[in-house]
Amino acid sequence: MHRPGLAVWLCLLVLIGTFGPIGIHASPIAAAAALGRRALLAPGSLDATSAACASLNSKQLLVNGYFNKVDLSDMHNMLLMASLANDVYPWSKQYNIPLLDVADGLDKEQAARFERLFGEKYRQLGATSIQFLDFYETPHIPITGAAAHAVVLSTPSDVFVAIRGTADAGQVRITGHYYTEKWTIYNTTLDVYYAPYASFVGGLWPQLLPAVKRATAATDSPSTANIYITGHSLGAASAYMAGLSLKEAGFKVSGVYAFDPYHVGYSCEAGQACWVSLYEQHLGDVTYSWWNNQDPIPQLLDFHFQGTPSGSRFGHVHADGRNWMRIVGDKCLSAHNNRLMEACPPEIDAADGAADGACPSKFGDHLPWKILMRIAHCALLQPQQQQQQPPPANARLASRLQQQQRSKEGLRLSACSSSSVWNILLGLPPPGRK
């Protein structure tokens, strides 16, 4: 296997420091660390975990109503999509694949192991078909160019797409490139940053489009199948682009979930056609994004250009924070129309233990499993503390009607899932409630 040169090794040292072994702690807040060592679901463990809920078929979380298609902002949805965004990375302990091998590109045996273990878990969660997509710009020396990886799952009614973020050494290289490329979508030519352009447009899209066609064809009603897309970091940027591209291609894109996203393109200047305005026009109401504490990646390009996400032209979709959640300590808070989209709002300043006006970047906050565990903590242990972004008025009405019509069986499913989901999604026993 070809090994990286010095520049890439330096980049990988940052990744090793970020994604290296983390100790397991007992408290729910510190449980984020445990995901660094967690095992993916072992065959048979679902049955033992959900024995008390067997009549509800609670293990099939993708198809049993746990995923709320009426209220997309439901924290259960956030948890499921964060799990997919995390599990699409092949460095979880159960895969037994060293980080540097991931960076070099998986060999055939490692890729087969990843696909087998991922498939075992998500088929038990309700997936009926799973496709694995891989692209290397330089296949024989994958550390030198762009790369892209995704998984496409189908259920009888829906399609789920999970896109991996930066893991290959070639991806580490391109995320440091700040120049833009021209991308035409919906008859509009946009400036988008090189990393998501190279990874998605040049790499993933030619495979993703036919894969989604096959996945929708495998559903019971291909013409009405919902498409839900998720990703973390560069994978989140690609998830945005995938959503827009699939909608333009005629698919029913019903939800996009982005966790600590890398930038795609510019915010708007007066009279300018730009990434943010075009995306919000087509998918703004069904897109939900997350920023974990002091993770620097969501504002990486803002740091470079000395701006802020809400104050520069290098902004994200929903620069005002609409449909954004900011994790503050172990709480999940709406960032709409407040200062939580800034780099160092008072809440983040206080959460780091010293309200001194300084919020140093913490690359550890970018860990996909840390984000997943904090969302799990919010969704399963602190539901009363959530300040979720309210969905549009019509969705709120539908959600209220749905809640009124819930049966005792449905409530029992929710109670059952709160304990069993820790094992089903996270491979961990549930921590004690406070």
pLDDT of 394 reads: 61
Sign of the torsion angle spanned by Cα atoms 376, 379, 385, 389? positive
Distance of alpha carbon 373 from alpha carbon 381, whole angstroms: 11
- The residue behind tokens 């447009």 is 201
Which H or E run includes 356? none
The angle, 0 to 180 degrees and rounded to 10, between the axes of the packed helices 368-376 and 408-426 is 150
- Tell me the whole-structure pTM to 2 decimals: 0.81
Q: What region does 268 belong to: left with phi over 0, alpha with psi -120 to 50, or beta?
A: beta
**Consecutive 10-residue runs of the chain (434 residues): their mean pLDDT?**
43 41 33 39 37 53 88 92 94 79 88 93 94 89 85 97 91 79 92 91 96 97 96 96 98 97 76 80 94 86 47 60 89 85 82 75 89 88 50 57 49 53 69 50
Tokens of 426: 């996270």
Nearest-CA neighbor of 129 among 249, 53, 218, 44? 218
Distance CA 345, CA 357 (A): 8
Give tens-digit pLDDT for 70-87: 999 999 899 999 999 999
Burial state string for 305-318 with b = 16 or more CB within 10 A and e = fewer than 16: eebbbbebbbbbbb
Measured CA to CA, the distance from residue 121 to residue 94 in angstroms comes to 12
